[in-house]
Structure 1
Amino acid sequence: MVDKVLATSAALALIEKLKSKHGNFFFHQSGGCCDNSAVNAYLPGELTIGAGDVYLGDIGGVPFYIGQNQYQYWMHTQLIVDVIEGTGGTFSLEGPEGSVFHARSRVFTEEEIKELDLR
């Protein structure tokens, strides 16, 4: 099975730290605006997930969503969530930790595209 979203070991470690501090949360890949196109971690109730959002899967046991319009651009890529040093935007849960979730990507192979039925 092909995963649409993965996390590096650094991202998984930060996810565990945030889970121990805050409990349940979720990710949303924004499509621009205030935090540009960033991976943001939110507590329940901080952002409404709706019909315009696409569930890509879980990383570290945490659900990951992306806006429908952004998904249309990135549907042929696998998102790889990593961590970089910095403070990032003010919206995301990891802001005070001195690290920022960061999305990298790679284009799916033809075989993966067929398996995912993205044509």
Structure 2
Amino acid sequence: MVERLALTEKAKALIKELSSTHGDLMFYQAGGCCEGTQPQCFEKGGFYPRMNDAMIGLAEGYEFWIDRDLFEYWKFSHFTLDVLDGFGPGGFSLESSLGKTFKVHYRLFTEEELKELSPIKRME
């Protein structure tokens, strides 16, 4: 199976730091403007995915959800979760208080990868 989500070492380290402070986490990538342009990290249960949103994988064991409309646009793309220094738009995500912001890098899947994609989970 080809995973839809990967993490940089910087993202893994920040997730570990956030989870030690906040407990279980979750990620949500919205499809709108401002905060929707980057993934948001919340305490688990701090945000509720909408019906038919897609969970594309786990970020260090924590669910990574994508807005249903955004997923339709990006469903042929691989996501790599990374971290940048600086304050992201909005500041609702947990890492904002640390002067960090999560970012996703995208690339298209190859023809071979498309045949082996891991399944997604939909919010019902």
Aligned to 1:53: 53
What's the CA shift for 1:11? 0.2
What's the CA shift for 1:117? 8.4
Aligned to 1:93: 94
Distance 2:47 2:63 in 1: 13
Q: Which moved more, 1:69-78 or 1:108-117?
A: 108-117
Is 1:110 the counterpart of 2:114? The answer is: no
Length-normalised TM-score, structure 2? 0.88
Distance 2:96 2:118 in 1: 36
Distance 2:106 2:118 in 1: 19
Aligned to 1:62: 62
In 2 relative to 1, CA 87–107 (structure 1 residues): closer, same or farther, beyond 3 Å? same
Distance 2:118 2:58 in 1: 20
What's the CA shift for 1:87? 1.1
Q: Would you say the 8 A contact 1:29–1:66 is kept in 2?
A: yes
| Structure 2 unaligned blocks of 5 or more | 120-124
Distance 1:14 1:72 in 2: 28
SS for the counterpart of 1:70 is: helix
What's the CA shift for 1:59? 1.3
Distance 1:62 1:110 in 2: 28
Q: Would you say the 8 A contact 1:31–1:38 is kept in 2?
A: no
In 2 relative to 1, CA 97–110 (structure 1 residues): closer, same or farther, beyond 3 Å? same
What's the CA shift for 1:75? 0.5
SS for the counterpart of 1:51 is: coil
Distance 2:45 2:23 in 1: 13
Give me the identity figure in percent.
38
Q: Would you say the 8 A contact 2:83–2:100 is kept in 1?
A: yes
Aligned to 2:8: 8
